[in-house]
Structure 1
């Protein structure tokens, strides 16, 4: 492994906080909505996003929904509740297993099939999206997404699940940036340093799913997107194997469909 420190510029956290806060405030005004609904997972991204929202929106106008499943750790639930209480925003705990089970019961499935395992994981994310939008519609509010730039670029989110939101306040920040901003916002250190996980199955972690550490992934993505470097240039710059960069590039290409509208065939009249 090469020395890839210093590749990603250090985020100006004060400026980023100010710009994101302004974005959230403007989004509310332009949409003519009455507040925000956000999913709280007890993780870094949702905690940081909630803190940013609480800086500019009346606490009574923010609803944090904690939506555990049987694979969600109690630690994550406790951290989500504590974050909501610390920021002063209203919160609800809504277990989603009772919502998921009827869907699985009426659909064919195989517990040992990896495709069905993935479908089940995606179903959790999509059910959470349904719950978020139910509350947002009922309260005339925006659904706030918690995805970061790293996840968006490689498609590490569920289409029409956690990708189904109205605004993405930290969508321009790499995971490394989010950690820095979280420290600036006084997010609990335990949350900042815990292994990122979507809680999709027992023991699941984001970095194991991705097959790469966020620290390195951010630098690969930064060089290829912000600097337009080719795969071989990126590998040389970071002193890592070309295969590792190529694999990230493949993830980026495979993720493109998640961030655009569904294709429509041209019709000649």
Structure 2
């Protein structure tokens, strides 16, 4: 029997794909039921995160209730589009293409070409504008695609790719998302390609971060999940510069993982935290 996980990092702490799928599926069904809406929409980038999120949703509520959107910019790679299409066809979900070039270029005209992060953020936010508009058209919630690794490192655009109504991947490291991709039977091209937000030509996540997702996941699991300090991490073989770099990012990007701080006023209870209307 073929080992579907061959060549993949599978640490002993990784949540088993079947268990992750079951938990994520129950979560998706519960949130959708609570919303009163019947459907889900998702942006399909051709990357592994959106592929796995779509796969979990299709299994949880049925492919007929999930709609994918391909949202290319003029510089998006042809491979990203073909991989996104392959994912939709593999899962049997409806999909359509909505180029964001016209709307993005209106903003990008005033942003210098060498300001790649600013330009990439504009593209990410334009994509979310389209998704939220299409969610209204299809009586749907926007399905998130961000994983735990990206959230802890702050490798995400606020109100862009991190905007969603629900996120089944938010507690799963990139390592676990890769295992889920294999378990779900998604196209191998999605699993094997280098991670990239495809925001500019040649962009690669790990080049920008300066370390691999596998390295980050092992460290973050020990640092965050197991609560180990720098000395304990050093004993486990983690290099001090990597520990410092990652811990600094985690602290600095905390604001991306929380809602906007709100000034507390007397006599103004939070209905969502304090029980709501009686």
Matches within 5 A, 1:40-119: 40-105=44-109, 108-112=110-114, 116-119=115-118
In the TM superposition, residue 7 of structure 1 has moved relative to its aligned partner by: 5.8
- For residues 82 and 123 of structure 2, the distance between their equivalents in structure 1, rounded to whole angstroms, comes to 19
- For residues 176 and 134 of structure 2, the distance between their equivalents in structure 1, rounded to whole angstroms, comes to 30
Q: Partner of 1:208 in structure 2?
A: 207
In the TM superposition, residue 110 of structure 1 has moved relative to its aligned partner by: 2.6
Deviating runs (4+, > 4 A) in structure 1?
5-8
In the TM superposition, residue 6 of structure 1 has moved relative to its aligned partner by: 7.8
In the TM superposition, residue 71 of structure 1 has moved relative to its aligned partner by: 2.5
Out of 241, 257, 260, the residue aligned to residue 258 of structure 2 is 260
Instruction: Report the TM-score, using the length of structure 2 for normalisation.
Output: 0.89
**Paired residues, what number?**
259
C-alpha distance after superposition, 1:14-54 (max 9, x if no partner): 11111111111111101111200001011111111111111
The answer to whether the 8 A contact 1:8-1:222 is kept is no
- For residues 24 and 227 of structure 1, the distance between their equivalents in structure 2, rounded to whole angstroms, comes to 27
Instruction: Report the TM-score, using the length of structure 1 for normalisation.
Output: 0.92
Q: Partner of 2:239 in structure 1?
A: 241
The answer to whether the 8 A contact 1:66-1:92 is kept is yes
In the TM superposition, residue 109 of structure 1 has moved relative to its aligned partner by: 2.8
- For residues 109 and 32 of structure 1, the distance between their equivalents in structure 2, rounded to whole angstroms, comes to 41
Q: 1:10 to 1:118 in 2, by over 3 A?
A: closer
Q: Any unmatched runs of 5+ in structure 1?
A: none
In the TM superposition, residue 191 of structure 1 has moved relative to its aligned partner by: 1.0
Q: Is residue 2:216 matched to residue 1:217?
A: yes
The answer to whether the 8 A contact 1:39-1:66 is kept is yes
The answer to whether the 8 A contact 2:116-2:200 is kept is no
